[in-house]
Amino acid sequence: MTTSLSTTPHKPWYSILYVQVLIAILSGILIGHFSPKTGLALKPLGDAFVALIRMTIAPVIFCVVVQGIASITDLKKVGRIGIKALLYFEVVSTLALIVGILVAGFFHPGAGLNINPLSLDPKTAAGYASRVKEIGIIAFLLAIIPRTFVDAFSTGDVLQVLLVSVLSGFAVSLLGARGDSLTRGIVILSKVIFDIIRIIVRAAPLGALGGMAFTVASYGVASLSNLLKLVGTFYATSLIFIIIILGAIARFAGFSIFRFIAYIKDELLIVLGTSSSETVLPDMMQKLERLGAPRAIVGLVFPTGYSFNTDGTNIYLTLATLFLAQATNTQLDFRQMVGILLFAMIASKGASGVTGTGFVTLAAILASIPSIPIQSLALLVGIDKFMSECRALTNVIGNGVATIVVSRWEKELDRAKLREVMAHPLENGETKSP
C-alpha cells in the first residue's frame, strides 16, 4: 500500500506573498534613496493599492456584521460583546498611554536637544492646531451617525458603517425565518467580496514598493538623524508593549504572541509597506475567523478597535508629548503628567476617524498644557511618516489579540482550532476564500 506523505505541492519561494512584499519594501527603500525622482513617481502605486482595499472595507464589515448578528438568537449577547470589548479597549489602551509616559520618563529621548521654540516655524504646526476643535466626545459621537444610510458606505467611515451594519443585523434578526433568505444572500455576497480581496491582495507588492519608495524619497533616511533617538525609543517601546503586555494577554487567551505574529506576517508586511492599517482590515477579519473566533465577534470587535483600541497611537501620544517637553526644556510636575494621561484617554477616542489623527490629537494635548509650546510640533513633521508604520503595526496586532480575548471571554473561541493553526502558522497563513 502506498501512502502519500503530502497532498499540498510545495510553493516556490518567489511565489509566497510575504516574500514578494519584503522584496518590494527593500526595493522601494533603495529606489527612494538612490533615485528620489523615481521614488516620487511611484507614489500612485501605493495610493492605488490603498484605495482598492478601502473600496472593500465597507461591504466586508456590513456583510460580516449583519450575518453574524442575524445568526445570534439572543440579541442581548450582542450588547454584552460590545461592553466587554469596550472594557478591554479602555484598559489596554490606557496601559499603552502609561507605558509611553514611563519610557519617556526613564530614557529622556528629548534631553539635550535644547530647542528654542522661537526658532521653530509656527506655520508648520498651525494647520494641526487649528483642527483641535474637531476633537471632543460629543462631536465624536455625533460623527458616528451618517447623514444617510448610503452615505456611510460612500465615505467609508468605519464607525458609521459599523453602526448601519449593527442596526441592519438587528433588523434582519427580528424578521425570524423571513430573514433567512436575506442572510443567505449576504453570505454569498461576502464570498464574492472576499474573492475580490484575494485578487487585490496579489498586488500588495506593487503597493508596498510605491509606498516605501515615495516615503524614503520624500523624507529621506537622513531626516532621521537628528531625531533618531525618539524613533528608536518609540519602536523599542512598541516592541516591549507587544511582547510583554500583549504577550501576557495572549498567553492568558491560550496562544503565543510570536506565533500569532508569524500567522499574520503577510498583513504586517503590507502595513509596513503602505503605512496604513486599513489595508489589511478585510484580510485580518478573515484570518481571525480561521483562528477559531466567531464571525459575529470578529465583525464587532476588530473594526471597532480601529477607533477605540489604537495601542500604537496611544504610546506615540504620551511619548511624543514628553519628548517635546524635554526637547524644549519644559519642566512638568506630577499634576501635569496626570493631566496629560487623562486628557489623552479622552482625546485618543475623540479624534478617531479624523485625518492625521496622531498629529491632531497631539496638538490637542499640547493645547491643554500651555507650558509646552505648540510650535514644537514642527520637530516631528519630518519623522512622523517613519513612526506611522510602527503605530499601524502595533494597532493591528493589538486589535487581533483583543478579538481573540473577547471570543474567549464569551466562551466561543474554538481553542482546538486555535491550537492547530498556531502550531503551524506558516502553513495556515495563506489567504483563502471563506
pLDDT bin (cut points 50, 70, 90) of residue 434 is very low
Residue 109's pLDDT is 84
Picking from 11-15, 59-63, 273-277, which range would have the lowest pLDDT averaged per residue?
A: 11-15
Q: Does the pLDDT at position 340 exceed 80?
A: yes
Residue 135's pLDDT is 54
Span 399-416, pLDDT tens digits? 999 999 999 998 888 888
Cell of 164: 448601519
Mean pLDDT of 219-225: 61
pLDDT bin (cut points 50, 70, 90) of residue 19 is confident
Mean pLDDT of 154-162: 78
Span 365-424, pLDDT tens digits? 777 777 777 777 777 766 777 788 888 899 999 999 999 999 999 888 888 888 888 877
Instruction: Please count the helices (runs of H) and the strands (runs of E) in the chain.
Output: 22, 0
pLDDT bin (cut points 50, 70, 90) of residue 145 is confident
Task: Indicate left, alpha or beta for 353 from its phi (over 0: left) and psi (-120 to 50: alpha).
Answer: left
Picking from 29-43, 181-195, 336-350, which range would have the lowest pLDDT averaged per residue?
A: 336-350
Q: Are 340 and 387 in contact (CB under 8 A)?
A: no
Span 319-330, pLDDT tens digits? 989 988 888 888
Alpha helices in 144-179 (DSSP H): 151-155, 158-174
How far is residue 322's CA from residue 340's CA, in Å, rounded to a whole number? 9
Percentage of residues of the chain with pLDDT beyond 90: 13
Residue 4's pLDDT is 41
Q: Are 379 and 115 in contact (CB under 8 A)?
A: yes
Residue 62's pLDDT is 86
Q: Judge residue 414's burial from the number of C-beta atoms within 10 Å of its C-beta, 0-12 exposed, 13-18 middle, 19 or more buried.
A: middle
Please provide the size of the chain in residues.
434
Span 232-249, pLDDT tens digits? 889 999 999 999 999 999
Mean pLDDT of 34-40: 88
In angstroms, what CA-CA distances link 373 with 65, 118, 335, 383, 426?
A: 44, 9, 18, 19, 48
Mean pLDDT of 246-273: 90
* CATH pick for 13-423 out of 1.10.150.120, 1.10.3860.10, 2.102.10.10, 3.40.1650.10: 1.10.3860.10
Residue 3's pLDDT is 43
Residue labelled with grid coordinates 453602526: 163
Q: Which is more confidently placed, 10 or 107?
A: 107
Q: What is the mean pLDDT of the chain?
A: 79
How far is residue 367's CA from residue 361's CA, in Å, rounded to a whole number? 10
Q: Are 294 and 68 in contact (CB under 8 A)?
A: yes
How far is residue 415's CA from residue 423's CA, in Å, rounded to a whole number? 12
Residue 73's pLDDT is 63
